[in-house]
Structure 1
Amino acid sequence: MNANSSTRFQKETELTAESPTLIEGLPGLGLVASIAVDQITKQLDLEQHGTIVSEDFPPVASFDEGRVRDAVRVYAGEDPAVMTLQSDVPINPTAVESLSQCVLSDVAEEFDRAVFLAGAPAESESEIGDVVGVATTDRLEEEITDAGISLAEGSGVIGGVTGALLRDCYYGDVPAAVLIVRSNPYIPDPGAARAVIENALEPLVEFDIDTEELLEQSEEIQKQKQQIAEQLQQYQQQEQQQQPRMGMYQ
């Protein structure tokens, strides 16, 4: 159990998958992770495995199809062996550390490796959807390159909740990788989400996802995610005032 009593994982089902991969879908730049993992969870028909609750999360009520639900949830499936981490609200800076520690102490024992998604602003239309990877272990570095994903060049910093999760996995000896995706930094970007699924997650995790909906329902998805995007921008502005500017991805 997580030592920080304000944030805890409440497991609802027993995990039957063998050595699953956790894919993180928390709101970040362009909401690429959130959109991509929403689609993966739906396409693979993953079942809710548990929830993460915290006094540090925003005091709001999340709902779907007329029913209230916990804002931060963990889903799981057996074939393929996949877990997803999703949130209906941005993770505010004061909750980042406790959430990351909760994942590492309470959830990590159930997955074999973690794949995180971080956004980077695209400098041109042609860059949208470009993906590079960063790994914490030799094995994952090899898996990234075998999947046809280029490793990130040079140095940089990954901030926000994704950076905290990656850091804690690194120091906790939990195999993890982050896929850095170029996206539109100003609006929710279903196109970039589609690209990271098809060009990176599918070959890396070895599953098949139908991404046509992300194009066909692009405007609807953007409308649904706009409120989250606006709140996230406020959090990112606060964090950027406190973080170094060198190659910051979120």
Structure 2
Amino acid sequence: MEIKLLKKPKNPIIIEGFPGFGLVGTIATEFLIDHLDVELIGKITMDESPAVVAIHEDHVVEPLGIFYNKKYNLVIIHAVTASTGIEWKLSDIIQKLARDLGAKEIISLEGVGSPATKPDAERVFYFSKNVNAKKKLSKIGLNPLKEGIIMGVTGALLLNVEKPALSCIFAETHTDLPDSKAAARVIKVLDQYLGLKVNPDPLLEQAAKFEEKLKGLLKKGEEAKGMADAKKLSYVG
């Protein structure tokens, strides 16, 4: 696994979102890429993944793309591939990227399960060990996540990252299906936290279309992996 960069912005804030509960992180980072002025500056390549790629609307979709917004000095890691089994390696590679760029902060966007007794819950929580981030997120009106189980890349980052500061924004969701409403709540908080002037309303208005797009991309990735696995078995069988 390695990082390939075309340029190296200095001291950015890194925002990452991986497919997780409700696909909140992936939807939120996709929305940021669509609504901020960004350029693709690199990617994360993995020997663990088959040499297959999805094409969407006449463009190659990077499974793990790295995008840059100059105005706000943001590096956005956008993932449309599952991270199961490689969470620790991805955590290490994100930390390496942060060191190489001298990142000021890593922000992780995630969905967290809501109780079955509260199917319409719309809460957003934060978790951070950084005093300044805690104050700022509390001032926005968020409560800290006091109880919960965090898995995947975010879980690995929480266990491993010491520097730079790591802040997590969790939107409550009660579904394994793409949840654009939860992602919109994350965008709203991120907008207040970083002053991005990004309106999440289009995400709500086009939720169905947006969710279908992401489901399609993820399905293509899974189908491609299945085809690659089947081909591999045919060689050894």
* SS state at 2:161 partner: helix
Instruction: Compute the TM-score of the two structures, normalised by the length of structure 2.
Output: 0.83
Shift in Å, 1:38: 0.8
Give the equivalent residue in structure 2 for 1:12: 6
**Distance in 2, Cα, partners of 1:59 & 1:87:** 16
Q: CA, structure 1 residues 49+105, in 2 after alignment: closer, same or farther (shift >3 Å)?
A: same
* SS state at 1:127 partner: coil
1:155-170 map, 5 Å: 155-170=147-162
Shift in Å, 1:88: 1.8
Give the equivalent residue in structure 1 for 2:169: 179
* SS state at 2:111 partner: strand
| Runs (5+) with no aligned partner, structure 2 | 223-237
- Percent identity between the two aligned chains: 21
* SS state at 1:114 partner: strand
Give the equivalent residue in structure 1 for 2:192: 203
1:14-163 map, 5 Å: 14-15=8-9, 19-93=11-85, 95-110=86-101, 111-123=103-115, 124-128=118-122, 130-153=123-146, 155-163=147-155
* SS state at 1:226 partner: helix
Shift in Å, 1:58: 4.8
**Distance in 2, Cα, partners of 1:157 & 1:218:** 27
Structure 1 stretch displaced more, 97-106 or 221-230: 221-230
Q: CA, structure 1 residues 91+167, in 2 after alignment: closer, same or farther (shift >3 Å)?
A: same
Aligned pair count reads 218
Give the equivalent residue in structure 2 for 1:214: 203
Instruction: Compute the TM-score of the two structures, normalised by the length of structure 1.
Output: 0.79
**Distance in 1, Cα, partners of 2:140 & 2:165:** 16
Contact persistence 1:137–1:175 (CA under 8 A): yes
Give the one of 221, 226, 230 matched to 2:215: 226
Give the equivalent residue in structure 1 for 2:181: 191
Shift in Å, 1:152: 1.6
Shift in Å, 1:222: 2.1
Contact persistence 1:118–1:158 (CA under 8 A): no
**Distance in 2, Cα, partners of 1:98 & 1:55:** 11
